[in-house]
Chain A
Amino acid sequence: MCLAVPMKVKKVLEENTAIAEFGSITKNVNIQLLDGVKAGDYLIVHAGIAIEKLDPGEAERMLELLGTLEK
């Protein structure tokens, strides 16, 4: 019940909307549920609405941790 993708903000427009991009597909996304969205942010978008910002620091930390796993 959770089909959502991480989209990169290209430009914040007025009226609670941003142009966001996912693999060279672009879409207008509603950002009313988030504060302080700016170009370059990654947002999790479900049904055309951004429900949270992705934290790149956390993503990198997790990937590093996974990189240290033994075979």
Chain B
Amino acid sequence: MVGIPIGASQPPTHNSYGSSSTGKGLSALASFPLSLMKNSTILEIKGVSKTFGSVVALDDVSLQLNSNEIRGLLGGNGAGKTTLMNVLYGLYKPDAGEIYLRDEKVEIQSPKDAISYGIGMVHQHFLQIDSYTVTENIVLGTSLKNRPTLNLDQEDRQIGDLSERFGLEVNPRALIEELPMGIRQRVEILKALYRGVEVLILDEPTTNLTPQEVESFFQSLRVMVEEGMSVVFITHKLKEALSVCDRISVLRDGKNVVTVPRSEASEDTLVRAMVGAGLEVEESLLFSETGLDQEAVEVGQKSVLRVEGLQIVNEENMPLVRDCSFQIHDKEIFGIAGVAGNGQQELVEGLMGIRPIADGQISIDGASIVGKETSDLLEMGLTYIPEDRLQDGFLPTASVAQNLILGYQRQEPYSKRGFLDWKAIFRTARKLISEYNIITPSAAEAAANLSGGNIQRLMLARAFSHPAKLLVAHNPTTGLDIRSTEFVYSKLLELKEQGMATLLLSDDLDELIRLCDRIATIYRGKIVGVLERSEFNKYELGRMMSGVEAHE
């Protein structure tokens, strides 16, 4: 393993970084001629600290951003990436620290302030109005020229120009609800560009994109920085950070760890910086290069889940899932790849008894489950990790302990002779909190106070800790850091060895390729093809995800 050693004890190096290393960084940018001569400090964050109750989210963090720069911001959950950017975007007020914009001190009190200073942010979850057009969504909240008539022709043109200039292809007059996630994200970026931001913060922007879309997205980012903007790219995907960022900063436990130019960064050094001591990178599943060649753990012969001709329609009778057939054996992880919004959610809801099915057959261990209540299915041994954890899996005002037993509240040991056994519930909760590393002051704490990653760990703890024969997991590692992702992977494999059948729906192709025995691809509600482990190929999957049938 080559690379500079980065340990927990090493002081932050972001200040010691000089122009000479920028020069070195250039050589790696062969395909993107950059005029780094223009490079000058545009934004500087100095000594920012922020605590939430007893949790220190940011501890004396500094960051200096140049113009014409794509800056990667890496770090695990609770490392403080999003908190830092929320401070910059005026969503949180820092306890200490200062922000300088072109050497002038600024006080950012709200997103409105941030935008007026030329700072824009694209969140992981976008806030868009489905029934408005692209242009209407973009101009919302700005002052319009034609306010009385709401004639948006001029804005349409302006947005069309912007989208052309930055390679963010989108029809300004399309309705948001008709657009796939990848395009919706472009809209969100255009929203910031339309407001003339110079610093664009992107929070996990590639989550919903196919590999092909990611490439064109990166090209757009290049155009932006060439025009003088700066981009902060928050991610936990190292490969992406390494392929597009000029410099990469790593945060850990709310502290600066290191800032390195790309030329000096490697996956290995960055992982070490992110997780600190304690993770054997060489043995990590997440980074094992051998994962692909490895022969899969023997798949069982018993069919656990059988889906035949499944058809699911919406209120207008439009098909959302069409003629879906597959089966999953015991000891098998069956993956479904697809761009978000191609029927995955509906398929899962149909399986879990949340959404009525129009036609077809679903059976568990040979017995039909069509028309069964979700509660019956949970009792039969189905367990579910929902994709939208906030909406579908989480009770914000209830305690962490209450959340951990949702769906199992009528089962032993939580419920005895018609009464809840809080002692048993809290015993289990405390055990799961430590086992799954959920960071909370106590099991009685309101779950709303948990951070995103900890909420996800709560979902996992609930699903993994109750005996089941079929696990339905939809994007189970969203928002998790490397260490937790690693934990999820080993847990999934462990449960598989114990005989569990798993349906894994994921937007992360690497994840599917690592874990699955077979991968099906879903496009517009239809299974396009199923690949065996020996045939796995990222670009092939990407093609199938965009509707092209598998090559024979």
Q: Do A and B bind each other?
A: no
Binding site for A on B (CB under 8 A): none
